[in-house]
Structure 1
């Protein structure tokens, strides 16, 4: 029996890319000895993305579409689509064409070689050099503090075997850091390096908040080190403060008339400790927010429509 490959594409306001994306995926899959389905999930686009998908699905039975009832964010919507795929292997490809569909044969080749997880990585990119540098630093930091080795410069595109999908489905994480979760599973991971092209059409939905959200998700899901650093640094600051207090007391006793305490050390100390407390409270809040998301047990998304299922 011919194996089925599921191609999963999350979309939001991609009317300028969706036709080209579907055509390129269809052309790639036509050259491979596999049956396939192309599953697009639309995160409540405000443009003509859904209309274009509906028209194309009317003449292409391999194109399946999920339309969300509202925008459920950049984490939940793609993950929901991943779990709906029926293939023996599931390939995730971004809708902005920055993950070229022509990488799919390379993913499948690694899968045929026995790898259950294949991830696209970008050692080079045509995006902003500043953003690319910040991403590289982030991956180096999170790899140092993570309890499991993560893949540097992973884009989120890649291939996941049916066994991996079943494990993800059993975990039932309502807000996962997918790139880290597949590393937690423990199967060997193959990588496919590529130079990421610049987006040529449309406007990215990524902004500072979404990038920050992904960054904090990676830290809170896969490392307890920040929490332990808070305790250790708090203890160290308490010791330093005690030593400073004894030093000032000794200086005052020895030079009673000449030594003036002054307001500058008080103000500096207050602002320093205030800033550290705010930093610690913010990081602690990220962990609490992650716990709250887990215990609420909300669905990943609510669908308003399915096409070609």
Structure 2
């Protein structure tokens, strides 16, 4: 019997976590569309404080097949998702199923059917979004900007709601990234892909934890993770501005000798030029700083996630050879003793 792994990160989702578990279980029940498969549902909790952990403990105690990872603190959705992804053991892995079920579990049987037909990556595309016009426009611009700037083909409107084959999973988890942009990583490894459009439903219970600063941070990570175009644009703009300034200087000198009364003069020109070039320089320094900060975080080699506890799971080592940080630390302490 083949196994389908499903990853569900969560943070303060006390109103949704039970419903998400029940919805997935219904798919694999005796009369469900995936009754012929075994389900491995992995919840990754980001140090919830609202009772979510208590529900997960109760579910894990009642269902030994349910697996739970409890993080020591909130490491953000991408890091928590990727850490849980490393623990998946299924023949196919649904990379991300949100517990608020805005990405509908009802799509999973169709994903599995396409996977069985030979598609190694089945990616859900949010063709319709039940959200405000402003958010739809912002997301649309972001997706197209990332695709246009990236050196790889990152499909528009595709998030982490994707079913990937085991061989794709292995290629994905081999990435050692301090802030994994998962949809970009999946796109970068290649393999046969099919895109399935669906409607991204409005959240019915609870509040989204992705506020504006988090969304901006995730967007910048997506842009800087898979392209050096911003730095190239800075170089091009710098050369262009330098050339324009040099041309302006030549024109000014020429006018000074030929037509002194028409030559630009006074402090106004200097002040405008100074503030304009200072603003451009600060913008370029900010872009450079984003890359430097990312490099700095990567080379420090901090653990992607620090786990407090695992329920119904052993301290496993994934096939890629990347050890679980908690298990590795325990081994080091034991050897030192």
TM bin, normalised by shorter chain, reads over 0.9
**Aligned residue in 1 for 2:159:** 155
The answer to whether structure 1 residue 218 and structure 2 residue 217 are counterparts is: no
Mapped to 1, the partners of 2:151 and 2:51 lie a distance apart of 43
SS in 2 for 1:280: helix
Deviations 1:251-307 (A, max 9, x none): 222333564513332222122211211111111111112211221111111111111
**Aligned residue in 1 for 2:10:** 11
Mapped to 2, the partners of 1:283 and 1:87 lie a distance apart of 40
Aligned to 2:98, which of 94, 100, 112?
A: 94
**Aligned residue in 2 for 1:202:** 206
The structural deviation recorded for 1:197 is 1.0
Segments of structure 1 that go 5 or more residues without pairing to the other structure are none
**Aligned residue in 2 for 1:61:** 64
Deviations 1:232-269 (A, max 9, x none): 11111101001111112222223335645133322221
Please provide the CA RMSD for this pair: 1.4
What is the TM-score when the length of structure 2 is the normalising length? Answer: 0.88
**Aligned residue in 1 for 2:27:** 28
Aligned to 1:142, which of 111, 135, 146?
A: 146
The structural deviation recorded for 1:213 is 1.8
Segments of structure 2 that go 5 or more residues without pairing to the other structure are 314-337
Aligned length: 308
Mapped to 1, the partners of 2:270 and 2:184 lie a distance apart of 44
Mapped to 2, the partners of 1:290 and 1:106 lie a distance apart of 38
**Aligned residue in 1 for 2:331:** none
Question: Does 1 or 2 have the higher relative contact order (CA < 8 Å, sep 6+)?
Answer: 1
**Aligned residue in 2 for 1:105:** 109
Residue 111 of structure 1 contacts residue 118 of structure 1 at CA under 8 Å; is this kept in 2? yes
Residue 74 of structure 1 contacts residue 210 of structure 1 at CA under 8 Å; is this kept in 2? no
Residue 178 of structure 2 contacts residue 297 of structure 2 at CA under 8 Å; is this kept in 1? yes
Aligned ranges for residues 280-295 of structure 1 at < 5 Å?
280-295=284-299
**Aligned residue in 2 for 1:80:** 83
